[in-house]
Chain A
């Protein structure tokens, strides 16, 4: 069974009197373990598509299934619970909670997923160590570089072991070196933990990391290609790369 299925999905936005057709009949199946990029120029409908896959929004017509279940049948409350437990989010602008430390931001995701076990602390610490942030756990977002913030976001998305991680242009606000590092972190989570990733991008370099690329144009799927991703470099030494603390 596919992890996530979109069947003939359309999405219109109302802009006053005008209807903007953002998606015009998209059908895609995402299998568990994939590392999929939605690629396309700005305005092509990538974010709209991720909103649907991430259960943040509902389609105008067509069907979205998560683990076989038609999400149309679910209430807003049930969708929220499903998101909290099964889906992790990484955003273009990182979107950490500014008043919480790195540790607390990650912990928040676990708590919202309904996990209150005694090992929560260890799980949070492990998630942050996995992205090389063991020395930054008590920092607030404003005390970290963009690259570090996005790593916290990765830890936050993955700490609850979600079935699916959604990332909307995760590298768009980072320089190329940090962007590359983030992609490698995500890829490592994909390989080591088997987490399924769907991310959007319009960056050629980023696409090279994907095992599958769905090309989007004007709200339609132009091409769906499976490819061999660029090999992962060996794991970098702990504590991130030098210079990480200043960029952003």
Chain B
């Protein structure tokens, strides 16, 4: 109690120095709030997109999962309807969509054949509508026709691809792909609309009805993937456990007409590469950056607290002479630093929160820079930080850590001041 009172008084003693210490912690915590909200914004967006485009949990054959870059179309699930039905009954599942994506050579009707590589996303229109939210993204033209017969021959084309191929609504496009046994297969589509998804990856794809890619790949009732969605993509690994349980039914293989040696596997998005590695990497980088900020701020605290210790040598000697123990001297300086950083940290966390919330509303447009990113990254063109109260709280608590770390060295130094210093103290 006594030490706390003394520490409080000491904190208000040299106003400029205390302000300097507080400012150091203020800047540190502010940087933490803004920085962490950016990390969360960018990678949160990144992860949400990854989970959205690849399913919170994805069911495929094991062989497909192992070699999907090579697109071994014959490693498909030959009949998906019974699987979808079963998975829809699994607890926590909100939607299930079979998907059949095909890499194709695309050309505008009348243009040269096979100009451009593109990915055709074949899925139920409900997937394009509910999961990808494409109806709101139609920039030119229209959404698929009401008549399934007509809709089946229509395609929505991503903005970037449309520009590359100079496609407009109403144009005809030819996609050249393969069937599951390797023969060439070409399909013509009418461009019904151009979609501006705001996402670099999605803007380079073509969206069509599942039946059309089934026909193209000659997998009449199947798909390569069955995507399962729950309420929260962060809880995908719990959902994966439920889905895996449903797949364990021994009768399922026959119902789905799987080959005798084929096995189904369920993977949460976060368990699949590159996300599993990326998540680890991001967490490591975030840890290092936070560590650096805490360390640099602690150095600032160390600097000012050390000045205080050196300046108060005689006084500490007097307290030691009067019987204040080592623990008391330690506490005297650590508590002083804590008091100062409580104020600095609270202000810093508040200012940082204000800044992050303001930036969250505005966002930063990557513009042209984003279009050069690799096709496989679902990066949004406009990035936003994502602030939440727990970020402010963690930054504030880390501010206290800075105070303890920064003041420990000066405080230890103060404990080495001997009681004889009291006699030599002059003012």
Contacts and interface: CB of A to CB of B under 8 A. Distances in A.
Contacts of A57: 418-420
B254 interface: no
A89 B329 CA distance: 19
Closest 5 CB pairs between A and B? Answer: A84-B323, A99-B9, A56-B419, A112-B323, A95-B318
A98 interface: yes
Interface residues of A, number: 27
A104 B426 CA distance: 21
Interface residues of B, number: 26
A51 B320 CA distance: 13
Nearest to B3: A111
A83 B13 contact: no
7 contacts: A50-B423, A77-B325, A83-B323, A97-B319, A98-B13, A99-B13, A109-B322
Given A95-B314, A95-B315, A112 B322 contact: yes
A209 to B, nearest CB: 21
B425 interface: yes
Contacts of A83: 321-323, 419
B382 interface: no
Nearest to B13: A99
Interface of A: 47, 50-51, 54, 56-57, 77, 80-81, 83-85, 89, 91, 93, 95, 97-100, 104, 108-109, 111-113, 168
A84 B12 CA distance: 27
Given A81-B323, A99-B10, A93 B419 contact: no
Contact of B427 (A51, A93, A99, A111): A93
Given A83-B323, A108-B322, A112-B324, A97 B422 contact: no
Given A95-B314, A97-B6, A99-B13, A56 B323 contact: no
A97 B426 contact: no
B2 interface: yes
A112 B321 CA distance: 10
A108 B3 CA distance: 10
Contacts of A84: 322-323
A47 B323 CA distance: 19
A98 B13 CA distance: 9
Contacts of A95: 314-315, 318, 422, 425, 427
A113 B425 contact: no
Contacts of B315: 95, 97-98
Contacts of A51: 420, 423
A168 B6 contact: no
Nearest to A88: B322
Interface of B: 2, 5-6, 9-10, 12-13, 314-315, 318-326, 418-420, 422-423, 425-427
Contact of A100 (B9, B324, B419, B427): B9
Nearest to B2: A111
A80 B426 contact: no
The listed residue with most A CB atoms (<10 A of its CB), out of B2, B6, B318, is B318
B6 A100 contact: yes
A163 to B, nearest CB: 14
A13 to B, nearest CB: 11
B10 A89 contact: no
Contact of A93 (B319, B322, B425): B425
Nearest to B425: A95
Contacts of B422: 56, 89, 91, 95
Nearest to A168: B423
A195 to B, nearest CB: 16
A91 B323 contact: no
Contacts of B6: 97, 99-100, 108
Nearest to A57: B420
A197 to B, nearest CB: 16
B322 A89 contact: yes
A57 B314 CA distance: 15
A91 to B, nearest CB: 6
Nearest to A54: B321
Given A99-B12, A100-B9, 20 more contacts: A51-B420, A56-B422, A77-B326, A80-B324, A80-B325, A81-B323, A83-B322, A83-B323, A84-B323, A89-B321, A89-B322, A91-B425, A97-B318, A97-B319, A99-B6, A99-B10, A100-B6, A108-B6, A112-B322, A112-B324
Nearest to A51: B420
A62 to B, nearest CB: 17
A91 B9 contact: no
Contacts of A109: 322
A114 B325 CA distance: 12
B277 to A, nearest CB: 54
Contacts of A54: 321
A231 B299 CA distance: 60
Given A95-B315, A100-B9, A113-B323, A56 B420 contact: yes
A108 B321 contact: no
A85 B419 contact: no
Nearest to A169: B423
Nearest to A55: B419
A109 B12 CA distance: 22
A111 B423 CA distance: 21
A81 B315 CA distance: 18
B426 to A, nearest CB: 5
A68 B10 CA distance: 39
A93 B320 CA distance: 16
A80 B420 contact: no
Contacts of B314: 93, 95
